[in-house]
Structure 1
Amino acid sequence: MIMRPHATALLVCTILAGSPACMYAGTDKTDNDQEIAALRHDAEKGDIAAQCLLGMTMKIKHEYADAFRWFRMAALQGQAAAQHYLGWAYHYGKGVGQNYTLAAEWYEKASALGYTASHNNLGVLYEKGLGVTQDFRIAETHYRKAALQGLADAQYNLGLMYRYGKGVQPDMTEAEKWFSMADNNPGRSGENGLTTVSSGERNPKLTMKNGRDVSSDI
């Protein structure tokens, strides 16, 4: 089931690597209780796409425990986007206790199915040694995979790797190239059909000084 676009949220379902992928764009709340009820009905009957979309709806509404429940149901059935968001829930302790090891495991599953943002978030975990053994080379590999697919967060993070010589030889020219790509990234429709744009917080020109790695919430 695909929910119709309405004033406060847009939920879409597409196909990624052989499984439905869910994604969203909108504000932090939805006002269409009838659509949510219909979506919940389908999810409870085992519709994987509906489960993922319902999880995203609950995430938008900041009802994280409910979101976790639906993401987990879809993730266990091999739904890539749900696996990513389950990893995200464990990564940040949203609706479940924070667990970096489980976050890494679910990001790995989603990235194996081609979910770009999971590569970026795995890069963050490997760079910081959160839930995995710290390994700059593996972090750089994941950042690069996502960066080459147009994810601005990953382009920025890859730039940081070159700036500080993590997993690669220090190279300010290469760093500036990736910072520029992230800064000028107009948004690209990736596997989830959404636009990824550097925000003020994530703008390399604004944040390059503090060397902050950016994980992806898409």
Structure 2
Amino acid sequence: MFKVISISILIILALTQAALPQSASSDELCNQLAGHPWEPGRNGIGGVEWNEVDAAAAIPACREALSQQPDAPEIKYRLSRTLMQVGAYDEALPMMLEAAEAGYSPAETAYGTAFMQGQGVRIDYAVALEWLRRGAMHRHPIAQHNLSVMLMNGQGTPVDSAESFRLSLEASEAGYPYAMDMLGYLYEFGIGVPRDYLQARRWYNEAGSRAVSRSAYAIARGFELGRGTQQDPQAAYNWWKDLAWGGDAYSMVRLGAAYEAGNGVAADPEQALLWYGYAAESGNYSPGMFALGRLSLQLADTPEETAVALQWLHRAAYNEQTEAYLVLAEHYETHGELGSAREMAELAAYYAHGPIVKLAREIIERIGARAAEPTTPGRFVTGSSAPTENASSESGVAPSPSPAGSEAPRPQ
């Protein structure tokens, strides 16, 4: 019996030993810990995304690998991208340039992106364009995507919508999900290509299936407006609800708008106010402040409720939500506070664009010389965005998430 047990243990130990992997070389370990998903041959499969590299483990492994292969551009790239992640730019960028000059397309892309975004250097679009063009010429999809963004926005170069579209299409067909999201945007708004909602929805769905969260905005909006699919307010509501519960401020505003208008759900102004409030308090989000102030003003029954609503509108205006100036001007004019009404209308005419300016000028003309000195607590000085001592002291300007913009250029 003892002999049988001993033989069994020996067999198990032998099988276990055979199953254990041989110790990886420093090159293999560096690749495993710091290799990028879009290095040649990976096509987005495997690798480690930006800000997910375990720098404490990767840096010594890649240093050891580089000591054994000092001319290997892929090792220089992996070490330098990890050093950039921890802010060691003085060492990282010269090393990244060496890898880029050796023609390694991920390094070309990363070096160009550093100058595009100001990662450890001042933004220099000329340098960014040079290296992103090299990466794009080598058909690196992130280089193609980032170069497409620069061409669409005219960053350091004349706008070239047709070339922006071509690059986005190539990167999308290579499987890069953020390019798919941008391609959907180009199709939806007819940039560099005739507008095509069906194609836009196709690429948004492709990007969304690869966990690009921005595409979810466009999918929801497609249901809301009937773009590339049958209009379905309830489906749009369900999308906005899921995104809002995930903490997205833009989606909170859209969900509030669905409750306010009764789109896809029974109208419920209290729920609308609730979601507008969540958005307003989420990172100083000015569209949420504006929606909350506007609806609160409409529903206010007491002077106290009116005062709170006006406070939110002033905060929204201070945070560059310029339509709030017009709402404030209309309110003050209606209540006979003509000086304050004119002041808000002048600010709307100065800062806003499009129809808001026209409406603001109509208020100014209507009030004319009847306006006395402004009397609004916490008013703004005409022609200035600076509040008086009674206004909110918060000065951060939260960017409004694009409902269907291209994903921001990706660090390497």
Query: Residues 37 and 109 of structure 1: is their aligned pair in 2 closer, same or farther, counting only changes over 3 Å?
Result: same
Q: TM-score, normalised on structure 1?
A: 0.74
* Ranges in structure 2 where 5+ consecutive residues have no aligned partner: 1-108, 299-322, 324-401, 408-412
Q: Is the Cα contact below 8 Å between 1:121 and 1:215 reproduced in 2?
A: yes
Distance in 2 separating the partners of 1:162 and 1:43: 45
The yes-or-no answer on 1:10 pairing with 2:117 is: yes
The match for 1:135 is: 232
Shift, 1:205, TM fit: 4.2
3-state SS of the aligned residue for 2:186? helix
Q: 1:152 corresponds to which letter in structure 2?
A: A
Q: Which has the higher strand share?
A: 1
Distance in 1 separating the partners of 2:269 and 2:113: 46
The match for 1:39 is: 132
Shift, 1:141, TM fit: 2.3
Q: Is the Cα contact below 8 Å between 1:71 and 1:85 reproduced in 2?
A: yes
Alignment of 1:45-64 (within 5 A): 45-61=138-154, 62-64=159-161
Distance in 2 separating the partners of 1:11 and 1:83: 25
Shift, 1:146, TM fit: 2.8
The match for 1:168 is: 265
Q: TM-score, normalised on structure 2?
A: 0.41
Query: Residues 59 and 158 of structure 1: is their aligned pair in 2 closer, same or farther, counting only changes over 3 Å?
Result: same
**Residues 78-125 of structure 1, C-alpha deviation per residue, up to 9 Å, x if partnerless?**
212111111111111111111111111111111111111211111111
Q: Is the Cα contact below 8 Å between 2:162 and 2:193 reproduced in 1?
A: yes
Shift, 1:206, TM fit: 7.0
The match for 1:18 is: none
Q: Point out the structure with max Rg over C-alpha.
A: 2
**Residues 157-202 of structure 1, C-alpha deviation per residue, up to 9 Å, x if partnerless?**
1111111222222222221122122223317xxxxxxxxx5469x9
The yes-or-no answer on 1:84 pairing with 2:167 is: no
Shift, 1:59, TM fit: 2.0
Shift, 1:49, TM fit: 1.3
3-state SS of the aligned residue for 1:185? coil
Q: How many residues align?
A: 186
Distance in 1 separating the partners of 2:174 and 2:294: 38
Q: Which has the higher helix share?
A: 2
Q: Is the Cα contact below 8 Å between 1:65 and 1:95 reproduced in 2?
A: yes
* Ranges in structure 1 where 5+ consecutive residues have no aligned partner: 13-29, 188-196
3-state SS of the aligned residue for 1:106? helix
Distance in 1 separating the partners of 2:170 and 2:286: 31
The yes-or-no answer on 1:204 pairing with 2:392 is: no
Q: 1:204 corresponds to which letter in structure 2?
A: A
Structure scoring higher RCO (CA < 8 A, sep ≥ 6) equals: 1
